[in-house]
Structures are given as structure tokens and as C-alpha cells.
Chain A
Amino acid sequence: MIDTCINIVEVFRTVHGSVSQCDKTNSYILEFGDITNSFRATDFIDFTKRVNSIDLVKMILSSSSVTDVAVLMPPYAERCFVLTLTDTLNLKELLSGAKFNLHLNSIICECLRPHLYSI
């Protein structure tokens, strides 16, 4: 689970990519396809929402070539994500898994907090 650098913790991984957390920079690192991007926590949540709001049904049903891909520009990034239908599904799966683990971590931290700070 823990990378060679102690500050980087893998949050979730699928065959298509991974999401890690850097405790030193308070950021999340998304690796997907050939793109690696670092996000601040707020931006990561927003990016997840944007990915989840991609209308898959529209992508499937529309005959227009415009809807064949979804283009997402992450904040403070030089490259954008160009997602086909399968890419979108894979990215959604990766981000959903990461989100689940991050919320689980929040719950665990909340449960442990009284014990951590008790004298």
C-alpha cells in the first residue's frame, strides 16, 4: 500500500490507473492512461463530480461525432483528458473506488481521533 516515498499512499488502483495521496503536499495523484496529474483535495472532488456528470447514455445514443469523446481539462494541468466511452467508464470506476476509500479513511480517522488525542 505504501510507496517507496513514505508520503505517498496508494488510495485505489484498477488495471487502468491509480489514485494516490501525498501527505506531504496534501494532494491526490491520478494516473490514468498516459496522464499523471496532481490535484488539490477540492479540485479532486470537483474533477470526480465532472467525470460522474458525463452523460454516458448521450454518448451511446448520439450519432454525432462530437459526443464520441468527452474532453476534461483538470485544473492547473497542461494536458487534458480525452475520454472515449470505455475510458469514461474506467475512469468513473477508478474515481468511485478512490472516493469510497477516502470516505472510509475519513470515518476511520473520526473513530480514532478521540483515542489519538486522549491522555
Chain B
Amino acid sequence: MKDLLRLRTSLSEEIELLLNEQIKAEAYSSAVYLAMSSYCNRNGFDHSAGYLEKQSNEERGHMLKIFKYVNDLGGRAISPEVTNIPQEFESFKTVFELSLQQEIKVTGQLNRIADQCIRLKDYTTFEFIQWFLKEQIEEEYVARRILELFDLIGEEGTGRWQIDKQIPKVSYGESTDEE
């Protein structure tokens, strides 16, 4: 009897499911960053608004990268339903606290995929996911450094204005943008 399941795709059902969950997580991140950008814009933090909009596009790029991978391997990438996007935030600082939390969560999810890839001997996806894991080092670093600005500069007086100006300048030396 032919193995029709393998003719369909080399992706196992578990990995396909995890990748589709990741597509959804990246889409959610993208939407949250956009909402954060809007909040910053409304409250006069123009530089942060621009930075968060850029982040939103980056997350969407990640989503599409996984989406394409699943389809390229004969799987079924699912266009995600993204709901419950917070539109209001407690403060300027909360925005970046949530941003770091979100990045840490994404790292955890990617680690889970890598772990499952090893368990199921899916080295193609394992190799694919390495790029994202490396990217997460940058994402977490930048989110942490931004949050540290709040302590370094302080929010009093013109502090928030200064922080807003500094945010787009935070960068990580080892960029993974080569792809």
C-alpha cells in the first residue's frame, strides 16, 4: 500500500500544527505591535510609534516566512484568525513591558518547535527554525534595552520625551537580516 500521507507532505501532523500555531502567534504579535504603535501615536510618542510599526511589519514578515515554508513543503498553512488585540495600555512603559513579555513568549514557543523537531527527527524544520531562534536573541535584547531606558533616563520631566527619541536607536550588533 502506498504511503499517501508522505506523498502529501514531509511535514508531520504535529509539526504542521505547531507551525500553524506559530503563524498565529506571529500574526498576533504583529497586530499587538500595531495597536501599540497607534497608542504611542495618540499620546505623542512619534518615534516609538514608528519603531513599533516597523516591529509590526517585521512580525508579519516572520509570519509569512513560516506560512510559505508550510506551503512549500506540501502542508496547509492556515491564515490565522487574530482576535483580542489590546487597544489601550496603562502607560508608555507598559507598552514595552508587554513587548518584552511577548518576545519571551515567542522564544518559548520556538524552543518548543525545535524540541519537537528533534523528537520527531524533522531536521529540515529544525534547520528552518534556527533562523527564528537567532532572531529572538535580537528581539529580546532590543526589548530589554528599551525597558532599561526607562530606568536610566527616568520618566520625570522630559524623561519620556528623551526615551521616545532613543527607542528607534536601540539596535543589536549581530543582525540576522541577511536573509
Contacts and interface: CB of A to CB of B under 8 A. Distances in A.
A23 B13 CA distance: 21
22 contacts: A9-B1, A21-B1, A21-B2, A21-B4, A26-B2, A26-B4, A26-B7, A27-B4, A28-B4, A41-B4, A41-B7, A42-B8, A42-B9, A42-B74, A42-B76, A45-B5, A45-B8, A45-B13, A102-B5, A105-B5, A110-B3, A110-B6
Q: Which of B1, B4, B7 has the most CB of A within 10 A?
A: B4
Interface string B1-29: 11111111100010000000000000000
A23 B2 contact: yes
A21 B5 CA distance: 11
B93 to A, nearest CB: 41
Contacts, number: 36
A105 B3 CA distance: 7
Interface of A: 9, 21, 23, 26-28, 41-42, 45-46, 102-103, 105-106, 109-110
A77 B162 CA distance: 63
Nearest to B74: A42
A109 B6 contact: yes
Nearest to B8: A41
Given A42-B76, A102-B5, 10 more contacts: A23-B2, A26-B7, A27-B4, A41-B7, A41-B8, A42-B9, A46-B76, A105-B1, A106-B3, A110-B6
Interface of B: 1-9, 13, 74, 76
B1 A106 contact: no
Contacts of A46: 76
A109 B6 CA distance: 10
A80 B96 CA distance: 50
A57 B4 CA distance: 33
Contacts of A102: 4-5
